[in-house]
Structure 1
Amino acid sequence: MIGHLNLILRLAIWFLLTASLSVPNIIIGIAVALLLPGRPKTSESLKDWLRVLGEVLVAIPQAYFEAFEIMFRPHKYEDVIMERVKPQRTPGLIFLDIFLITFTPKTIVLKYHEEGSYEVHRISRRKRT
């Protein structure tokens, strides 16, 4: 069985993909969310989820700021860095971490490594040493 927070995440993704809150779509979304295979129940902390959702809310104005910055001030340099996954992350929280990194215009996750790191491509105005 899946956890409540994973069910909510699956339904949110379903509604974002379908862009419909009709009764049949809600029924289909719940069925899909329940039928998708899940991992064994893990100890997910509500505190971790609330922290990540708070980071999502902070990322929205940051994304607008970065978009305007890219338009008005050229970013000529790019690099790929390895970023560590925070300890004890569940798959749902890892998904939200990747979403946060990719949501801002200056960074994108290229690959998630199972041993606990992300390959992140980023652009910058100055060459990093």
Structure 2
Amino acid sequence: MQGNLNGGYVWFDPIGLHIMPGQTVRWINHDPGNAHTATAYHPTNFQRPQRIPETAQPWDSDYLMPGETFSFTFEKEGVYDYFCVPHEQAGMVGRIVVGTPKDVTWKNDADLPKAALDAFPSVHDILARGRIHAESAQ
């Protein structure tokens, strides 16, 4: 989790990540001026559309102050999209691909801000590169 000094630009880095089932991801807030969250797209999280596998457990880090961390273990194969609660409108989103999922089609794109939709790296690119950093996703 990062941001520029005036808070005008915020991002996750990496924005795209490929891992295997059972691996744990840790988010660290490296932004000295903002609190951030790592929150799964799921109806239990602020009634957001579901963009994680059907049987996967959703997560919400709650607000992380500068220097704080949050970890989550991904058990199910699939594509997991997540966002920062206060910065979703600014396109602060990320995507984690677990294993080699077969179906990665979302039916609820209209429910997301345009900045968020524009920010997600493709599943194909994540699988090909393993990790996509924020500056290379554009």
**TM-score interval, smaller chain:** under 0.3
For the pair shown, the structure with the greater C-alpha radius of gyration is 1
Higher-helix-fraction structure? 1
Structure with larger RCO (C-alpha < 8 A, sep 6+): 2
